Structure 1
Amino acid sequence: MTGSIEQGTSRTHGNTHILHFLVRLPRPMEKVWPALATRDGLAAWCTPADVLEPHLGGAVTLRDLGSGRITAWDVERVAEYTVEGGGRIRFHLERDGDEGAALRFTHEFQGDVESEQGWRARFERLVELFEPAP
């Protein structure tokens, strides 16, 4: 199994933008979780996490995205960061077959904070982290 990024979608409701991606990774959920929910994991593909208190209500500062709180936290399944100026960033992991994980990603924000292309580039780095060695 190889990783893949399925077509991202973007919707707008008033001045709120919502990006969705489905990213399939060739590793089990417990191997993928640290990439979404630890300082080192996020820094490897997304952005440095200058602060990350891994629990519901914990503080979070994602260098390129903003500072705020963890607004959903279900270990090995859901990490949601709501950051000032950057909106709500949600990572939801599901099993994908026997050996894989499916990441359902949502970014809800106002203004022109992020783009589909920016997140696609991040997810390409994430997929590369989990690709089998040649």
Structure 2
Amino acid sequence: MTGSIEQGTSQTHGNTHILHFLVRLPRPMAAVWPYLATADGLASWCTPVDSLEPRLGGTVGLGELGSGRITAWDVDRVAEYTGDRGRVRFHLERDGEDGAALRFTHEFQGEAETEQRWRSRFERLIKRLEQA
């Protein structure tokens, strides 16, 4: 199985922007989870990580994505980081025998992020998983 970015949408409500992606990943959920929920994993494809306490309410510092708290944490399925630059949510689901589907949401104010920037990040994630 190869990975793919199936869909990406962008919505604007006033000054609030919401990006959604469905990303099909070439590895099972257990292999993908560390890339979404550990400092080393996130730093390998997304952004440098200053801190990450892997638990509900834990602190998180995600470089250019900002600092805040973990506001949803369901091990191997959901990691949500909410802070001074918005909310980032990773939701994993099974996708066939050997794959995972990532439902991603980023809600933020202003013009900090773009759909293309996240597409580039997800391309890096897919490449890392295909090489793993």
- TM interval, shorter chain, is over 0.9
Corresponding residue of 1:35:
35
Question: How many Å separate the matches in 1 of 2:103 and 2:21?
Answer: 6
Q: Structure 2: 5+ residue runs without aligned partners?
A: none
Question: How many Å separate the matches in 2 of 1:124 and 1:132?
Answer: 12
Asked if the contact 2:7–2:23 (Cα under 8 Å) also holds between the matched residues in 1, the reply is no
RMSD of aligned alpha carbons: 1.0
> Which stretches of structure 1, 4 residues or longer, exceed 6 Å deviation after superposition?
none
Where 1:49 maps in the other structure, the secondary structure is: coil
Give aligned pairs, total: 132
Corresponding residue of 2:104:
105
Where 2:64 maps in the other structure, the secondary structure is: coil
Matches within 5 A, 1:1-134: 1-84=1-84, 86-131=85-130
State the TM-score, normalizing by the size of structure 1.
0.96
**CA distance change for structure 1 residues 15 and 104 in 2, over 3 Å: closer, same or farther?**
same
State the TM-score, normalizing by the size of structure 2.
0.97
Q: Structure 1: 5+ residue runs without aligned partners?
A: none
Identity %: 77
Question: How many Å separate the matches in 2 of 1:2 and 1:43?
Answer: 22
**In the alignment, residue 35 of structure 1 is paired with which amino acid?**
Y
**In the alignment, residue 9 of structure 1 is paired with which amino acid?**
T
